[in-house]
Structure 1
Amino acid sequence: MNNYAVFLRGINVGGINIKMADLKTALLEYPFSNVKTLLASGNVVLQSDLGTKDVKSRFEECLRETFGYDAWVVVLTASRVAELVAACPYPSDDKSTHSYITLASDTAMLDELFEAGEALGGVEQIRLGPEASAWLAPAGGTLDSPFSRLSAKTRYKSSTTTRNLRTMIKVRDAAASL
């Protein structure tokens, strides 16, 4: 049995509203156990005998069939989430900046996004691995930051999602405790 973290893109924003209790109930009809939702913002930890790719496809299938939601998720093992959190050089709690990790199910899209961020200039970012990069935004200005606007483009919607480092730490801890 493997421990996984699943990160949903675009849930409970833009008219896509799914109650976490309903999501948990629906997921238990699939080959998942110990399902826990976190923070009502599209973070789920669970256990499964399936591999990462199969967890992704079955999870997305559940969202489409149960909620009519054209879903995109990024699935990582609990150990990989812990490695990414440990690799992030930015502070988890700082008054002047917020630390983010962008996760991707498509390495080529993350490569493109990272390179576009470099071309913007003024974006402090670092690649954490093939499926993740970390970046900083000024406190109070995340949504207005050039990189945030870039990463929100439709082109990246189906393959990337971003979480602040504090959320990633909570997900790491929840996944480890399954």
Structure 2
Amino acid sequence: MTRYALFLRGVNVGGVNLKMADVAETLTAAGFSAVRTLLASGNVLVDSSAKAAAVRATAESTLRERFGYEAWVLVYDVAKLRDIVAAFPFEAEVPGLHSYVTFIADDAAWTDLSVLAENSEETIAVGDGVIYWQIPKGDTLSSIVGKTMGNKRHKSTTTTRNLRTLSKVLHAADPR
């Protein structure tokens, strides 16, 4: 069994309101075990013997069927997520700044988003399948990454999480 972190895009923002208890129940019924949700923003831990692509496909189709919305889910095994968080290239906790990781599961989106690090005066760095960025609090949606992420062509293959949220997910996955 592999422990996976599932990140649901756009949950409990923009009109898609889901109760995390209902999400957990639905994913358990779909065959995942040890299902645990964290916060109300679409962060879920599951165990599965399937590969990440199959976990993603099952989670998306199950959530679409159960809740009637266009569900998009990015899936990472916990070891990979731990590596992504450990590679955050900036000081993680800076007063007045938000630290983010944008997960990217598509080559076209990767191309669009990775060039932002080269062409912006904002604090952006490219990682392994992710974009790391920091932005002053209150400027997230007006930042170059925020504006680019808002593009509809990226909604099925990208999602962003605050570094603090990712730390909570990792702690819940392995609370040693």
TM-score range, shorter chain: over 0.9
- Counterparts of 1:95 and 1:116 in 2: how far apart (Å)? 24
Deviation for aligned residue 1:128: 1.5
Structure 1 residue aligned with 2:139: 141
Are residue 106 (structure 1) and residue 126 (structure 2) matched? no
Are residue 126 (structure 1) and residue 125 (structure 2) matched? yes
Percent identical:
42
Structure 2 residue aligned with 1:60: 60
Matched-pair contact (CA < 8 Å) for 2:113–2:131? no
- Counterparts of 2:63 and 2:37 in 1: how far apart (Å)? 14
Matched-pair contact (CA < 8 Å) for 2:116–2:124? no
* Alignment map for 1:65-80 (pairs within 5 Å): 65-80=65-80
- Counterparts of 1:111 and 1:83 in 2: how far apart (Å)? 22
TM-score, reference length from structure 2: 0.94
Relative to structure 2, which stretch is displaced further, 135-144 or 19-28?
A: 135-144
SS state at 2:160 partner = strand
Structure 2 residue aligned with 1:12: 12
Q: Which amino acid aligns with 2:122?
A: V
- Counterparts of 2:144 and 2:115 in 1: how far apart (Å)? 13
Runs in 1 of length 4+ with deviation above 6 angstroms? none
**Aligned counterpart for 1:158 among listed residues 149, 156, 159:** 156
Q: Which amino acid aligns with 1:122?
A: E
- Counterparts of 2:117 and 2:132 in 1: how far apart (Å)? 11
Deviation for aligned residue 1:177: 4.4
- Counterparts of 1:37 and 1:91 in 2: how far apart (Å)? 27
> Gaps (5+ residues) in structure 2?
none
Q: Which amino acid aligns with 1:79?
A: A
Deviation for aligned residue 1:91: 2.8
Deviation for aligned residue 1:133: 1.5
Structure 2 residue aligned with 1:95: 95
TM-score, reference length from structure 1: 0.93
SS state at 1:28 partner = helix
- Counterparts of 1:161 and 1:132 in 2: how far apart (Å)? 10
